[in-house]
Homo-oligomer: A and B are copies of this chain.
Amino acid sequence: MRWFVILGGVLAGALILTIGLLVGHFAIPKESGPAVIKDVDEAFIQQVMSEIDNKEIENRLRELTKKPHMAATSGDEELVQLILNRWKDAMTGLDNATVDRYDVFLSIPDPANPNSVTVVTENGTVNFTSRLTEKNYTADQLDTDVVKPYAAYAPPGTPKGKLVYANQGTMKDYELLAKEVNLTGTIAITRYGGEGRAGKAINGAKFGVIGVIVYTDPKDINDGKMQEHETYPNSWYLPPSGVERGSFNGYFGDPLTPYYPAKDFTYRIKESEIEGIPPIPTQPIGFEDAENLICQLDGPVAPTAWQGSFNCDYRFGPGFRNESSFPMNSDVQVNVYNQRVINSSANVMGIIRGSVEPDRYVMYGNHRDSWVHGAIDPSSGTAVMLEITRIVGKMLKENRWRPRRSIIFCSWGAEEFGLIGSTEFTEEYYSKLRDRAVAYINVDISVFANATLRAQGTPAAQNVIFAAAKQVKIPTNSSITVYENWQRHFNRTSSLHGLVPSLGTLGAGSDYAPFLHYLGITSMDLAYTYDRSKTSARIYPAYHTAYDTFDYAAKFIDPGFTSHQTVARTAGNVLLRLADSLIIPLDLTDYGETLERFYNSAKAELGVTLEQQKISLEPLKTVIDRFISAAKAINQEIDQVKKEVNPSPLKVRMLNDQLMLLERAFLDPRAFPDKYYYSHVIWASKSSNIATFPGLADAYAKAVSNSSLGWDNVNKHLTIVIQAIGNAAATLEVVI
C-alpha cells in the first residue's frame, strides 16, 4: 500500500481510538456509577405493592393471635421464635435476624390472689365483688393465659374508704370535687380518658385519695351502647364485663434504668425512686360493675360534663345513698396484689444490608407484646410488617433487589408496659442511631377501623407519606387513592400546598417516642382508622381487653383484611422510598410551615402578655425565617442534583446527611430536665393547649398562673427554642 494509505489508516485508527477513548471515558458511566447514583425504582415499588396479599395478612394474624402473648410470657416467647424463623427463612427471609434481650422491671397480678373491688359493710362483710375475669363469649376468654384485669405498676394494697366519683381524674376534676367533698381517705372511681392512666392516681393522692378505680364509660367507648345484645360478639362494642388493662407508668422505658439499657451490668435505681407511677392502689373494672357503684352514690349531682351513659345521675359521693342496694355506710375496698418482677424481654431485629450506604438505617417497627390476644393491638401491625418482610425478603433472596440503605425491622418487646423494648434499644445503640438512622416508621395498631388512613409524624415526613398515599388505592373503590380519601376525612389548608390531608403529631403513645423524643429521628406512625361521623369511641372498644381477638378483628374491624392490605401497601411504599431514593424524600419546607404556624399561635395567644413583660418574639420570627430560607435553598440544590445525569455520589451523600440530621438539631438534652427522654424542643410533651412550642407554652402558662419569677423561665424557653431552630437552620444552610 502507499504510504499515504498507511498514514491514512493510522490516522483513521488513531481517530477511531480517540473517539473510543472519549466515548468510553465520558459517555459510558463507570460500573460503580449506576449503583451509587441509582434512584428509587418505581416499577419495583408497584411490584411490591401488588404482591401484598390480604389473605396472607389474615393468615399471619390468625397465627399471631392463637394465644395471649403478654410481654415476657411463654406466648410472647413463641412469637419471638415465630418472627425470628420468618426473618431467617431461606426463601423469604432477610439477611439476618437477631434477638436483643433486656432484663426489665414489670408489674404483674398475683395469679393466686386476684385483684378486685369490693363493697364492705361496717362490720366487715363483703357485700359485692367486682368480676375477676371478663365474661366468655368466644372461648378465647377462657384461655388460662388471659391475664386478669389490673393496673400495671399500681402498688399492692387494700385501701378502704367512702367512694367518690372523680370524673376523669384530672387535677381540675379533683379540685372541683374537693370543693364539695373532703377527699381524705376516699376511694375515687374515675373513667378512662382526659388524663394519663397514672395521672388519675397521682392526682388523686395529692388530695388524700387512698385508692383509685378506673372504668370505661359506655359514653366514651360504646357510643352509649350498654346492653349485651348491642355489644361484642354482636357488634364491635365492648361487652359490659370488658376491662381495659394498661400500664400505669407515666414515663417510658424500663423504670429502673432510665437512660441506660437494662443489661446485667447496668445500675438500677431503687424502686422508691421510680417516678410517674401510682402512689396508691389502683384497679380497672368493667362498666357493668362501675354502673353498680356509680349509680348508687350519694352526694350532689356532678356537672353535666361529668355525666356518662349510665341511666342515672352521676353523683360526687362520698359513699352510697341510704336507699342503695348496699348496707348503710358501706365502704369500697380496692384489692390490689400486683407483683413486681424482673423478666427478660426480647426485641427481634431483622436486617437487610444496604447495597450502597449500608451505614444508613431506615427502620420499621412494631411491638409484639399484647395484653391478651392482642389481635388489633399490636398484632394487626405485626401481620402487616411480616407481610412486607415476606415480599421484600423474597425479592432479596431471589437477587431481584437490595436497598440502597440498610433496612432494620424491629419487633419490640414490652411496649405495653411503657415502650420498654424500643426505649432500651435506643439507649443501647444511642450513638449509632444518632449518627446513622434516616427515619423510623411505626405501624402499631395497623387498623383501628376501615375508613381512612391516619398518619402522624414530624413535618419532615409529610412528603414521603403523601407520595406513598397517592400511589395506593382504597379497598372499596379502585379509583380513589388513599390520599384523596384521607383528605376527605382529615384535612387542613397548607400555606405551601393548599388543601392537604392533615398529618397528626406524635405524642408518646407507641414505640416511635424514644426515636423522636430521645434521639431526634424523623418518625411516623401509620394506621387505618375511624369515620368520625360514625363513632365517637375514644378508641376501638375491645382495646386492651380479652375481646381483642382474631374473631373480633375479622368480623368487626376489617372483614377481608383489605384495610390491613392498604396500610401494608402505604407503609411499604414509604419504606422503599426512604430506603431506595437517591435523595432521602424528606421535605424540610414542611417543617418551616409548622414552625411558622407555631410562631403565629405564640404571637396570637401569648404576644400581648409577653410584650407587657418586655419579652420579644422577634428573634424567634427571625430564626424561623432563616430556617425557611435554608429549607428552600436546600430544596433548590436537591432539584439541581436531581436534574444531573451523573451526580456526584459524595454530593448526594452530603445533602442526605443534612436531611437525615435535621431532626437531630432540634434536640436539647438540657431543655426539659424533669421530663425523662424528652429532648426534642418542638415535640416534647406539654400541658398547655396552645399549639406552639411546648417549653414556651408551658413556661408561659406557669408564669401567668404563678408569679413574676416565672417570666425568666419563659425567656429561658424562648432561648432554647431559638437556639434549636438556629441549629436546624445551620444544618440546612450551605455546608461551609
- Contact at A435–B731, with CB atoms within 8 Å? yes
- Contact at B736–A657, with CB atoms within 8 Å? no
Q: A185 — which chain B residues lie within 8 A by C-beta?
A: none
Asked whether A194 is an interface residue with its Cβ less than 8 Å from the other chain, the reply is no
- Contact at B358–A736, with CB atoms within 8 Å? yes
Knowing A267-B718, A670-B669, A718-B267, say if A353 contacts B736 (CB, 8 Å): yes
Q: A492 — which chain B residues lie within 8 A by C-beta?
A: none
CB within 8 Å of B: which of A300-355? 351, 353-354
Cβ contact of A17, chosen from B16, B32, B736, cutoff 8 A: B16
Cβ contact of A261, chosen from B12, B30, B723, cutoff 8 A: B723
Cβ contact of A649, chosen from B351, B427, B649, B657, cutoff 8 A: B649
- Contact at B731–A432, with CB atoms within 8 Å? yes
- How far is B669's CA from A36's CA once the two chains are assembled, in angstroms? 37
- How far is B431's CA from A731's CA once the two chains are assembled, in angstroms? 7
- How far is B266's CA from A658's CA once the two chains are assembled, in angstroms? 26
Asked whether A356 is an interface residue with its Cβ less than 8 Å from the other chain, the reply is yes
Knowing A25-B24, A736-B361, say if A661 contacts B16 (CB, 8 Å): no
Q: How many copies does the complex hold?
A: 2
Q: A702 — which chain B residues lie within 8 A by C-beta?
A: none
Q: A427 — which chain B residues lie within 8 A by C-beta?
A: 723
- Contact at A719–B266, with CB atoms within 8 Å? yes
Cβ contact of A654, chosen from B26, B28, B359, B620, cutoff 8 A: B359
Asked whether A650 is an interface residue with its Cβ less than 8 Å from the other chain, the reply is yes
Knowing A264-B619, A359-B654, say if A30 contacts B28 (CB, 8 Å): no
Asked whether A490 is an interface residue with its Cβ less than 8 Å from the other chain, the reply is no
CB within 8 Å of B: which of A5-34? 9, 12-13, 16-26, 28, 30, 32-33
Question: Nearest chain B CB to A273's CB is how many angstroms away?
Answer: 10
- Contact at B23–A431, with CB atoms within 8 Å? no
- How far is B236's CA from A587's CA once the two chains are assembled, in angstroms? 63
- How far is B128's CA from A548's CA once the two chains are assembled, in angstroms? 90
- How far is B260's CA from A726's CA once the two chains are assembled, in angstroms? 11
- Contact at B735–A358, with CB atoms within 8 Å? yes
Cβ contact of A13, chosen from B12, B26, B353, B430, cutoff 8 A: B12
Q: A669 — which chain B residues lie within 8 A by C-beta?
A: 669-670
Asked whether A297 is an interface residue with its Cβ less than 8 Å from the other chain, the reply is no
A407 and chain B: residue at smallest CB distance: B736
- The residue among A20, A26, A428 with the most chain B CB atoms within 10 A of its own CB is A20
- Contact at B719–A267, with CB atoms within 8 Å? yes
- Contact at A670–B259, with CB atoms within 8 Å? yes
- How far is B731's CA from A658's CA once the two chains are assembled, in angstroms? 20
Asked whether A422 is an interface residue with its Cβ less than 8 Å from the other chain, the reply is no
Q: A26 — which chain B residues lie within 8 A by C-beta?
A: 24
- Contact at A260–B21, with CB atoms within 8 Å? no
- Contact at B736–A429, with CB atoms within 8 Å? no
CB within 8 Å of B: which of A162-207? none
Cβ contact of A18, chosen from B20, B623, B730, cutoff 8 A: B20
A28 and chain B: residue at smallest CB distance: B25
- Contact at B730–A432, with CB atoms within 8 Å? yes
Question: Nearest chain B CB to A355's CB is how many angstroms away?
Answer: 11
- Contact at A657–B16, with CB atoms within 8 Å? no
- 27 A-B pairs with CB atoms under 8 Å apart are A20-B20, A20-B23, A20-B24, A21-B21, A21-B23, A21-B24, A24-B25, A25-B28, A259-B670, A260-B723, A261-B723, A264-B619, A265-B623, A267-B719, A353-B736, A359-B658, A406-B735, A429-B730, A431-B661, A431-B664, A431-B731, A432-B730, A432-B731, A435-B661, A436-B735, A649-B650, A653-B653
Since A9-B12, A267-B715 are in contact, a sample of 14 more A-B pairs with Cβ atoms closer than 8 Å, ordered by chain A residue number, is A12-B13, A13-B16, A20-B21, A30-B30, A32-B648, A265-B619, A267-B718, A357-B654, A408-B736, A429-B727, A429-B730, A431-B727, A431-B731, A649-B650
